[in-house]
Amino acid sequence: MIKSYAGFMNFGLRGLISLSKFLLTLVLASEFDLSVVGEYSVLFNAILIVTFLIGFDVYQYTSRTIINAESDRQESLIEHFSYVFNAYILIAPMFFLFFITGMIKQEFLLQLYFLLFVELLSNEVYRLLIALKHSVFANILLFIRSSLWVYLFIAVVYVKGVNGSPIGNLIDLWLISALVSVAVPVMYFNMPVSIVRNWRKLKIFDFRLVFNKWRLSYKLFLSSFLLLLINTVDKFVVELMDNKENLGLYVLFFSLGSMIYTFVGAGVISVRYPDLVRKYNLDKLEFMKYRKKFMNELLIVSVLMAFISIGLFFGYTSYQSEDVEKYTFVMSNINVYLIMLLSFFVYTVHMGYHYELFAAKNDRSIFAANGFMFLVYILLLLPLTYYYSIMGAAVAHLMSSCAVFWMKRSLVLNNVRINGY
C-alpha cells in the first residue's frame, strides 16, 4: 500500500486530525443542540472562504516553482510571504460581511480577525512545507492548528464543563492552537527562520506584487475556488432553505464522508505529488510507472477509508441508540450519508487525473473541468435542496463529483493520445 515512512506518519497524523473533526461534530451533536453544530459550521466555513480568497492559490504557483527549482528558493519564499501580508491588508475587510449579515455574532469579531490572520500564516507555511517534501513536519503543524484545540475542547467539556457559549470556548482554544502552529516552525524549522531573519526584505504595502501574483495564479485560484465553493456553499444553502437541525446532520454526514479525501490527501497525495510533478518534467517513462503507482494507492486507500467511515457511522448510531428521537432522525436519513460517502470516493479517486494535468501545467484544462463541476453543482443544488432538503444537497454533490471525474479523465486520455504517453 503506502510503503514510505512519511506516508505512514502522515496517514497516522491525518487519522488523528480526521478523528478530531468527527469527535468534535459528535460531541457538539451529542452534548449540545444540533443548532450549535450548524453555528460552528457557518463560522468555520466563513474563515475557510476568506482565508482562501486571501491566499488566492498563489502557493500552487510558488510550489511548482520550488519543485522545479526554477529560481532561488529563499527569494521565492520571501516574495510569497510578502504577497500574504499585502493580500491580507486588501482582502481581510470583507470578512466583516459575515458579521453585519448576522451569520456570525459580532461579539467574536476581534478574536476571529486575529484568528483569520494566524490561520492564514500557518496554512501558507504548511502548504510550502509540502512542496519542499517535508510532509511529516507539515502535518505535525496541521495537527496542532486543526486538532489540538479540538481535543482541548473535548477535555474541557467532559472534565470541567463549558462556561458560557460553547462557540466562544471553541474560538479561544482554536486561536491558541493556531498561534502555537506558527510559533513552532519559527523556532525549529529553517524555512520560516530564514524568512524571519530576512524580514527587511518583506515588501509591505506593495500592492503591485498582489496584482502580479493574481495575474499569474488566477487560473489555479479560480479552479480551486470553485472546489471550495462546492464544499462550503451547500452549508449556507441548507441553512437558508432548511433549518439548523438538518444542517447539523448534514455536516455530520459531510464530515464522515470527507474522511476519505482527508486521509488520502495526507497519506498519498501530499507524499507523492511533488515527485509526480518532478518526474513528468524529467523522465516520461519513470513518470508513467509512478503515475500507475499513484493511481493504485489512491484507489486502495480510498476503499479502506470508506469502510472505516462506515464503521464510525454505525458506531455513532449505536452510541445514540438510547436517544430514540435522535437515533430515528439519523437513521431515517442514512441514504444521505451513503450518497455523501460515494461522492467523496469519486472525488478522491479523480485527483489522480487532476495532478497529472497539474504536472503538465495544463491549468486551463483544470479550470475548465472545475468550472464544469461547479456548473453542474449549482444547477442542481438550489432546486434539489429546495424540494428534497439535505438529500437534494447530497445528490448535487455526487453529480458534481462524477462530472469532474469524467471530464478530467477525458482530458488526460486526450493528452495521452496527443503526446503518446
Statement: residue 373 has pLDDT above 60: yes
The confidence score (pLDDT) of residue 196 equals: 54
CA distance 41 to 58: 26
CA distance 87 to 97: 17
Nearest to 60 by CA among 401, 297, 412, 355: 355
The confidence score (pLDDT) of residue 346 equals: 95
The confidence score (pLDDT) of residue 195 equals: 52
Max avg pLDDT among 44-58, 185-199, 333-347:
333-347
The confidence score (pLDDT) of residue 1 equals: 45
The confidence score (pLDDT) of residue 227 equals: 73
The model's pLDDT over 100-143, given as tens digits with 9 standing for 90+, comes to 877 777 888 888 888 989 988 888 888 777 777 777 788 888 88
The model's pLDDT over 211-225, given as tens digits with 9 standing for 90+, comes to 887 887 777 777 777
First to last CA, the chain: 25
Max avg pLDDT among 83-87, 169-173, 401-405:
401-405
The confidence score (pLDDT) of residue 215 equals: 80
Question: pLDDT band at 4, cuts 50/70/90?
Answer: low
Statement: residue 83 has pLDDT above 70: yes
Question: Average model confidence (pLDDT) for the chain?
Answer: 80
C-alpha cell at 90: 486588501
% of residues, the chain, pLDDT over 90: 14
Mean pLDDT of 342-362: 88
CA distance 249 to 90: 36
Q: Residues, the chain, total? A: 421
Statement: residue 188 has pLDDT above 70: no
CA distance 294 to 268: 8
The confidence score (pLDDT) of residue 73 equals: 67
Question: pLDDT band at 185, cuts 50/70/90?
Answer: confident
Of the candidate ranges 16-30, 357-371, 384-398, the one whose mean pLDDT is the lowest: 16-30
% of residues, the chain, pLDDT over 70: 86
Mean pLDDT of 237-242: 79
The confidence score (pLDDT) of residue 189 equals: 53
Question: pLDDT band at 401, cuts 50/70/90?
Answer: very high
Mean pLDDT of 180-208: 66
The confidence score (pLDDT) of residue 3 equals: 46
Higher pLDDT, 344 or 22: 344
The confidence score (pLDDT) of residue 335 equals: 94
Question: pLDDT band at 2, cuts 50/70/90?
Answer: very low
CA distance 43 to 166: 13
